[in-house]
Amino acid sequence: MSDDVGAVHRRVVDAGGEVLEAPHGTRFGSGVAAYVCTARDPEGSLWTFGTYRGPSA
């Protein structure tokens, strides 16, 4: 897993992938901030990459 969402975004673009949401800051329901992007693969599956790691244990 890469913490560099921008690098993942560039790989998708360089591979000719479909970017649905460019990298941007957001907040999840818990209020935790994250930096994310979303893309669709050739089979139609959606992938969201981000810096959010979930709640601490």
Q: Which CATH number goes with the domain that contains 25?
A: 3.30.720
Model pTM score? 0.78
The pLDDT tens digits for 12-42 are: 999 888 999 999 999 988 788 899 999 998 8
In angstroms and rounded to an integer, the radius of gyration of the C-alpha atoms of the chain is: 12
Structural domain contains residue 15: yes
55 in a domain, yes or no? Answer: no
**Cross-strand pairs, 21:** 38
The position carrying tokens 């930096």 is 35
| In-domain check, residue 57 | no
E-strand spans in 1-57?
Answer: 18-27, 33-40, 46-50
pLDDT top residue among 53 and 12: 12
CB 30 within 8 A of CB 54: no
The model's pLDDT over 1-19, given as tens digits with 9 standing for 90+, comes to: 446 999 999 999 998 889 9
Range of the domain at 41: 5-50
- Please give the share of the chain, as a percent, with pLDDT higher than 70: 89
Asked whether residue 56 is domain-assigned, the answer is no
Confidence tier at 50 by pLDDT (50, 70, 90): very high
